[in-house]
A and B are shown apart, each in its own frame.
Chain A
């Protein structure tokens, strides 16, 4: 079991290969559908992002409300493929890691390889268990989105499995997007 720190260093990223089980400590940023849509809009309009993504790790997660006395509510991963269309642009902007569940598209895999990033899986449907690894939660952007806001999470020994490594190897069979299929003339 490898222990790694967030934000990730380039050497660290290069050392990860698909199937590796790691425990991560440091800072993650949650962002899912609507936050991704807004960030892409901001980039398209030449505006600054609410978080400087360089070197950062995004966790595709919309947690439940934090109960009294706890550091976070239930916080498992949501389906990563819904963020596929936004991901290559964020990787270009410096994003280095993503955590979610499920397969990614050919385009995302290519972008992960091009920008030397890494995609992790974590335990799907295990939000209660995963909450134990989150030490601090703070909403930092898009607060009006409620559970879909960008939250800064401080995590310790958060369990991950490498799903796509920086060489573009994917633990899943590659997911064909409708765009990719059209390009191939299918």
Chain B
């Protein structure tokens, strides 16, 4: 048994909230810079330049990259040998509140989705997976709601053709248009149950964007690359004002599913894809 103190977890969560919001993920920044170099549409290039400049200013001045500091999604991978000296969920929320206050982030959470009310910093949406070992891995993904609002789920028939699924994914991006702040990172979840497909699509956003894309070695990988190509042909571009860069990457996560079903969820992230991880 390895005991980890609640205060340690709280402080790590706090730091991750701040880091995720001030310092754009390295792989995302690199992908944006590469897109800027490649882009031929003058206005699109200028906007991509502003996006990169914004990340640099945020990092230097310790400011939130975007004013929508998101709904904090916290992913925990807890080793079976780990014992938390305290209430894990309460500790995570204390860490979120601490980080959001210290980092001058935004209180964007309301307690009752129907009666709304005063904005607070918590609670976070917490996902906990128990795994082998004695480590505790914490990931914070502050999900902006401009893009979260464009999430779509479709329960396909098990005999659906791949072309129908591709059409749905591309239409979801088309529907989002400029509203979710392109260029996008498109997360797709295929399989499981309806809710699991949605979780897969969200988790797909955590995957690092590869700088050098290897040749496709699987049907899923090939699908990711086909979709990226077709999405970029939509010419939505940064701020929806046209250009070659509508998406930086498409990440698909799959899971076994029922013989009668084929759930597909698309969860789009804006260009300010923020997440930070720590392993205790």
Q: Which residues of A contact B (CB under 8 A)?
A: 34, 61-67, 70, 73-76, 78-79, 81, 101-103, 121, 123-129, 131-132, 144-148, 161, 171-172
B213 to chain A, nearest CB (A): 24
Q: Name the CB-closest residue of A to B57.
A: A128
**Known contacts A74-B63, A125-B54, A146-B118; A101/B104 CB under 8 A:** no
Return the contact of A74 from the options B65, B119, B270 (Cβ within 8 A). B65
Contact partners of A126 in chain B: CB under 8 A: 50-51, 53-54, 66
A-chain residues with CB within 8 Å of residue B179 when the two chains form the complex: 79, 81, 101-103
Q: How far is the CA of A79 from the CA of B182 in the complex (A)?
A: 12
Residue of B nearest to A63 (CB): B67
CA distance A61 to B181 in the complex (A): 15
Q: B137 interface residue, CB < 8 Å from A? A: no
Say whether A102 contacts B240, CB under 8 Å: yes
B106 touches A125 (CB 8 A): no
Known: A79-B146, A123-B54, A147-B107. A74 touches B241 (CB 8 A): no
- Residue B72 is within 8 A (CB to CB) of chain A in the complex: no
8 A Cβ contacts from B253-280 to A: 270-272
Say yes or no: A73 contacts B54, CB within 8 Å. Answer: no
Q: Which residues of chain B are near A81, meaning CB under 8 Å?
A: 179
Which residues in B have their C-beta under 8 angstroms from that of A79? 146, 149, 179
Task: For A101, give its contact among B53, B149, B181 (CB under 8 Å).
Answer: B181
Q: Please classify how large the interface on chain B is, using the bins under 10, 10 to 19, 20 to 34, 35 or more.
A: 35 or more
Chain A neighbourhood of B62, CB < 8 A = 67
A61 to B69, CA, bound (A): 13
Residue of A nearest to B178 (CB): A102
Question: Which among B58, B181, B270 is the interface contact of A128 at CB below 8 angstroms?
Answer: B58
Partner of B177, one of A34, A65, A70, A102: A102
B248 located at the interface, meaning its Cβ lies under 8 Å from any Cβ of chain A in the complex: no
- Please give 18 more A-B residue pairs, beta carbons under 8 A apart, in addition to A128-B57, A145-B119: A64-B67, A66-B104, A73-B67, A73-B104, A74-B63, A74-B106, A78-B146, A79-B146, A79-B179, A101-B178, A101-B179, A103-B178, A129-B54, A131-B63, A132-B57, A147-B107, A171-B241, A172-B177
B116 in contact (CB, < 8 A): yes
* Contact call A144/B177, Cβ cutoff below 8 A: no
Closest-CB distance, B99 to chain A (whole angstroms): 13
Query: Are A74 and B66 interface neighbours, CB within 8 A?
Result: yes
Who on chain B is nearest to A149 by CB?
B119
Residue of A nearest to B176 (CB): A102
Contacts A65-B105, A129-B54: A78 and B181 contacting too (C-beta < 8 A)? no
Within 8 Å CB of B271, what residues of A? 125
- Interfacial chain A residues near B118, Cβ < 8 Å: 144, 146
User: Which are the 10 A-B pairs with shortest beta-carbon distances?
Assistant: A128-B58, A74-B64, A126-B54, A127-B67, A67-B104, A129-B54, A128-B63, A74-B67, A64-B106, A146-B119
Please give the distance in Å from B234's CB to the nearest CB on chain A.
12
Find residues 96-132 in chain B having any chain A CB closer than 8 Å to their own CB.
Answer: 104-108, 116, 118-119
Q: Note all chain A residues with C-beta closer than 8 A to B66.
A: 74, 76, 125-128
Let me know if A172 and B64 touch, CB within 8 A. Answer: no
A-B contact pairs, 25 of them (CB 8 A): A62-B68, A62-B108, A65-B104, A65-B107, A67-B104, A70-B63, A74-B63, A74-B66, A75-B67, A76-B66, A76-B67, A76-B68, A78-B146, A102-B177, A102-B178, A103-B177, A124-B178, A124-B181, A125-B272, A127-B64, A128-B63, A129-B50, A129-B54, A131-B63, A172-B177
B178, A64: Cβ atoms closer than 8 Å: no
Q: A64-B104, A64-B106, A144-B118 are in contact. Are A78 and B68 (CB under 8 A)?
A: yes
